[in-house]
Amino acid sequence: MTGQTQGYSPNPSPGLEPRLVPAVTHDAVVVVPGIMGSELYDSIRNEVIWGLADSRWLTRAWLSRSGLAPLQLTPDELAGDHNRVHARRLLQTPTWSPFLKGFEPYTKLLRTIENTVAHPSAILTFPYDWRLPVRSHADALAAASRDHLTRWRAHPAQAAARAHAVDGREARLVFIAHSMGGLVTYAALNLSSDHDLAGDTRGVMTLGTPFQGSVVATNILNALQGAPLPLPHNRLATAASTMPGVHDLLPRFLCLEDGLDVRTLTPADVADLGGDKELFSASERFFEDLSRRPLPHHRPVVGIGQATVQSLQLQAGTVRASEYCFRTDNDGELKRDQHGRPLRYPVKGDGTVHRTSASPVRRSVPIYAQHGALASGKQSRRTVVDFLLEDDHLGPDMAEDGLGLDVPDYVHPNVRWDLFISGTEDVSGIECSIAAVDGSYTRSARVEAEGDDRLHASVSVPDGGLYRVTVRSDHSDTVTQLVFAGPDGTKPVDE
């Protein structure tokens, strides 16, 4: 062993060190956006009807009498004629919706994936008309994914990267799906005519997908007949009542408090709260078919730590949503206290989807993030990279303690409103700011201790438009949410 360390073999060709293999995947990646995450174009009106996020467009869309009329499904569309509206591309700029709040574009996610694949040609984005039934996109996504995989397998960059893969296996599909996009992916893999697609899929990562639905969808549909709400909420309810896609997001878990019992929604309940019972019945049949097989190699990413409605009471047609849910034992019996009352569990979630709904399997990746920003945050993108590189065999990183953010979805200019930061009572190291998405306005918010492990700030904005609230901390990932400022809603703005 003279002059040689045990376990070390000298380079047989001095001066020619082996090169490092690039940290890229040779698989084909399909990115499927969430609800409202695709730009929609009306071929009859020759205009974009969803996807422009400047303040003037948002004001016209949400506050004018006919702003959202093009989004309502016509009788022909409900009957299956889907030629009027086309999904042209993924969301390019931030936008906003009542109840669902802010939506960040997928620019950062796509850039991250581009840096992780062998060639940009390995990426396919699948915009779709999110107003339609989830089932209606199954064959289209399956066909697009099959064509994408075939083209990528013939690409020279795939052959070069494949040579570095363990066993030199052929490229397969990896789906990265946000929100409703996870349900669209599920339908393509389980219900499409391509029965081999699941076998050609290495894995599916979902980001905040409501596998069991969301109570937020009941709030959306109930705005027409519930408590008085600003005009944008009523505009959305009018359009959403015609959308099968929104009915596919209604909760299907035990969520409706009925005396001392808790039950699932029925078609009659949906009609009572402002939805369409036939659309909901069709959705129930769809999910019954969908759930017969699990997603292949599924890794759910779930948003945590954010105030999220998880149950409701239905009083004279009005939804009263609450931030707690219920649990059952393995025999299906509801957990109750010593007086027989159902126990209430504050599970939280991403502000739209509570954790249990977003995680159909026990192994999930928890991230402190709001729903609309879940696909764009730094921690989510790191998780996507690990998944693409197959570096997840050791299991996902455990989420460190993080912050929650709770803001109104609609505010008025020059009127003060409250925001809350949960997860800490210590104001040191916390930075909170409000900045206009379009414009130069930005200001810091003075944060004060509220008690009960949360902070509070009272703020206002000077003009109508879209604003981003950002909370930074030395001990947590950055949390953001979009807020829309507009008139008081007593009357619509001019067309």
At 493 the pLDDT is 56
List the one residue out of 59, 99, 414, 131 whose CA is nearest residue 229.
99
Average pLDDT estimate for 117-125: 97
User: Rounded CA gap, 422 and 402, in Å?
Assistant: 9
List the one residue out of 272, 368, 364 whose CA is nearest residue 314.
272
Q: CB-hemisphere CA count at 13 Å for 123? A: 19
| CB of 207 closer than 8 Å to CB of 358 | no
Sorted by where each starts, the structural domains of the chain and their CATH numbers stand as 19-212+273-304+351-399 (3.40.50.1820), 403-495 (2.60.40.10)
At 228 the pLDDT is 64
**Residues with Cβ < 8 Å from 421, sequence gap 6 or more?**
403, 404, 405, 406, 430, 432, 447, 454, 455, 456, 457, 471
Who has greater pLDDT, 454 or 343? 343
Who has greater pLDDT, 427 or 154? 154
Q: Is the per-residue pLDDT at 142 higher than 70?
A: yes
Tokens representing 291? 């759930």
Q: What are phi and psi of 55, to 5 degrees?
A: -60, -40
List the one residue out of 245, 221, 243 whose CA is nearest residue 233.
221
Q: Binning pLDDT at 50, 70 and 90, where does residue 59 land?
A: confident
For residue 27, the one-letter residue type is D
Buried b (16+ CB within 10 A) or exposed e, 238-249: bbbbbbbbbbbb
Predicted confidence (pLDDT) per residue in 7-47, tens digit: 444 555 555 666 777 789 999 999 999 999 999 999 999 98
At 495 the pLDDT is 52
- Classify 224 as helix, strand or coil: coil
List the one residue out of 158, 152, 148, 93 whose CA is nearest residue 126.
148
| Residue owning tokens 């007086």 | 339
Residues forming beta bridges with residue 257, ordered by sequence position: 262
* % helix, strand, coil for the chain, step of 5: 25, 25, 45
At 398 the pLDDT is 47
Predicted confidence (pLDDT) per residue in 403-419, tens digit: 899 999 899 999 999 99
Average pLDDT estimate for 286-292: 93
At 362 the pLDDT is 75
> Strand pairing of 201-207 and 298-304?
parallel
Tokens representing 115? 């840096």
Predicted confidence (pLDDT) per residue in 293-342, tens digit: 999 899 999 999 999 999 999 998 899 999 999 999 999 899 999 999 99
